[in-house]
Amino acid sequence: MSDRTPRLLFVHAHPDDETLTTGATIAHYAARGADVHVVTCTLGEEGEVIGDRWAQLAVDHADQLGGYRIGELAAALQALGVGPPQFLGGAGRWRDSGMEGTPARRQQRFTDADAAETVAALTAVIRRLRPHVVVSYDPHGGYGHPDHVHTHRVTTAAVAAAADDAAGQGWTTPKFYWTVTAASASRAARRALQDADRLPHWTLPGEGDAVGEFPDERIDAVIEAAECRAAKVAAMAAHATQVVVGPTGRAFALSNNVAQPILDSEYYVLAAGNAGPRDARGWETDLLAGLEPGAAGQGVSSADQVPDVELKA
């Protein structure tokens, strides 16, 4: 990998989160030749299994879902054009915490993990990969899942800790983003869903189904990647225990059977770093926008400065 190749790191809580929230972005940068990595914090052991085929893998039966989802994640990442799964602390180190009220399991839940250990594990990843962009969740974790909230906290702390150059190994990440849902785009896409887009037992979403959306004025960046739609749809289909793609490829549903639009534009808030040029909407259209040599700041050797970005058109 050339020193002039931009590097992006996406930190997610469970398998399928990388695709549902940032799949088009991952595929977009991978296709343009960037060095893209995805770190997943748990195996998603507490997920609700869709359908009968793999139902016995669920936590209240064999409790083997987590291992199966490693394969789903590998297939999804391949569809998006990036390398094999990387799990924080190693596969299975921390367990999916489940939603609020989920009973404690024998294995330590991610939300109960020692903060110093989780932050140190991700700090080591950041220092090894030296990403120019890190992406994770907003403080509410998008829709409030405890693991998403905890992933935000761990990632925020690790980005800060990685910049500490006390041992001569610091890496200051130039740009740190939150992946978010833009309210206007989400509403428009939900209203555009047609009966043909959904399976017969799916319901169409109402306004009450919108959770954690951000107003347009709070958005800092958008990646518009219609050319990566097919890759995102294929990656979603790879997560077959969790996601069903509708007949037209324009909608999907989780275990709640509520149809949701598949978006090929994905939205971000810049949590740290300096924004690059913005369009008439006030948004960046490239997460690498504005990066210049030397922008990585203190604690970074001259050989590791942010490159003049060289990406395929």
CATH value at residue 295: 3.40.50.10320
Angstrom CA distances, 116 to 107, 140, 154, 161, stand at: 18, 21, 9, 11
Over the stretch 163-200, which tens digit does the pLDDT of each residue have? 997 767 899 999 999 999 999 999 999 999 999 999 99
Taking residues 207-211, report their average pLDDT: 71
pLDDT band at 298 (very low <50, low <70, confident <90, very high): very low
Burial state string for 160-183 with b = 16 or more CB within 10 A and e = fewer than 16: ebbbeeeeeebbbbbbbbbbbbbb
Share of the chain above pLDDT 70, in %: 90
Q: Cα 16 to the chain's mean position, in Å?
A: 8
Least confident of 83-97, 107-121, 289-303: 289-303
- The runs of H, that is alpha helices, within the chain are 17-31, 65-80, 115-129, 141-144, 146-162, 183-192, 229-238
pLDDT band at 308 (very low <50, low <70, confident <90, very high): very low
- Residues contributing to the annotated binding site: 14, 17, 148
Token pair recorded at residue 149: 């909230």
Q: What DSSP string describes 35-71?
A: EEEEEES---TTPPPPSSTTGGGSTTTT--HHHHHHH
Taking residues 199-203, report their average pLDDT: 96
Q: Is 96 inside a domain boundary?
A: yes
pLDDT band at 294 (very low <50, low <70, confident <90, very high): very low
What residues make up the domain containing 139?
7-181+266-304
- Give the total number of structural domains in the chain: 1
Q: Is 173 inside a domain boundary?
A: yes
- Residues contributing to the annotated binding site for Zn(2+): 14, 17, 148
Q: Is 126 inside a domain boundary?
A: yes
pLDDT at 311 over 70: no
Q: Is 49 inside a domain boundary?
A: yes
Q: Is 211 inside a domain boundary?
A: no
pTM of the complete model = 0.92
| Phi, psi (degrees; rounded to nearest 5) at 304 | -110, 20
pLDDT at 303 over 70: no
Q: Cα 6 to the chain's mean position, in Å?
A: 18
Q: Is 261 inside a domain boundary?
A: no
pLDDT at 302 over 60: no
How many angstroms separate the CA atoms of 239 and 73, rounded?
7
How many angstroms separate the CA atoms of 79 and 219, rounded?
28
Over the stretch 242-272, which tens digit does the pLDDT of each residue have? 999 999 999 999 999 999 999 999 999 999 9
Q: Is 213 inside a domain boundary?
A: no
Looking up tokens 């534009």 gives 265
* End-to-end Cα distance, the chain: 18
pLDDT at 301 over 50: no
Q: Is 277 inside a domain boundary?
A: yes
